[in-house]
Amino acid sequence: MADKIPILKMGRFLLLSIQVDMHDQLALDLQEDLTHQIVRHKAKGVLIDISALEIVDSFIGRMLSHIANVSRILDAKVIVVGMQPAVAITLVELGLSLEGIATALNTEKGMRRLESMVAEDESVGELESGENADTSASAGD
């Protein structure tokens, strides 16, 4: 295996930035690696930065929605950030509108959105335990 896309853990979130041209094997490896990491770290959210991705095909588009679906089952929110206009147009032309995947313009906005999404989820648990109250309140800000 020549190269691998690094998955970084940041608190309750996983961060992955696609900086190289995606080929099919790399996408498959990433898919598998990510599912394992989500379970291992009990991640609540995954942020995928594709700002450096300039070429997409239907396979990569499908892979993104596959990752989102798998993550949802594993109770992790997925947000895709920094999609280039050309990539967005291509995906639309391919008929892949990535239903159900949250998107944001850049990593900063994506992180904020992800935090509020996770905080929304946890607001119920907060009442019961009261343990995460502080973190949730600041995250939801």
Partner 1 sequence: MSSTAIAELLRNHEATLLDVWVAAQRNAGMRLDLMNESTIVTNSAELLRKLTTAAAQGMDDLDAAHWQPVKTLLEQFSFNQSRAGVSPSETATFVFSLKEPLFKLIQEHSAEPLVDIWATTQLLDKLGLYSIECFMSGRESVIREQQESMLELSTPVVELWDGILAIPLIGALDSNRTQIVMEALLEKIVETESDIAIIDITGVPTVDTMVAQHLIKTVTAAKLMGAQCIISGIRPQIAATIVHLGVELGDVITKASLADAFRVALKQQGTRFIAATSR
Separation between Cα atoms, residue 10 and residue 140, nearest integer Å: 17
* Order of strands, sheet of 7-10, starting from the edge strand that comes earlier in the sequence: 7-10, 13-17, 45-49, 77-81, 102-104
User: For the residues of 17-38, what is the DSSP string, one character each?
Assistant: E--S---HHHHHHHHHHHHHHH
Q: Does 37 bind partner 1 (CB under 8 A)?
A: no
Q: Is 83 in the site for partner 1 (CB under 8 A)?
A: yes
**CB of residue 105 vs partner 1: minimum separation in angstroms?**
4
Nearest CB to partner 1, comparing residues 38 and 87 = 87
- Examine residue 65 and tell whether it contacts partner 1 (CB under 8 A): no
Tokens of 14: 């996983």
Nearest to partner 1 of 44, 61 (CB atom): 61
Q: Is 110 an interacting residue with respect to partner 1 (CB under 8 A)? A: yes
Bridge partners, residue 8, by sequence: 15
Q: Which residues contact partner 1 by CB under 8 A?
A: 80-85, 87-89, 91-93, 97-98, 103-106, 109-110
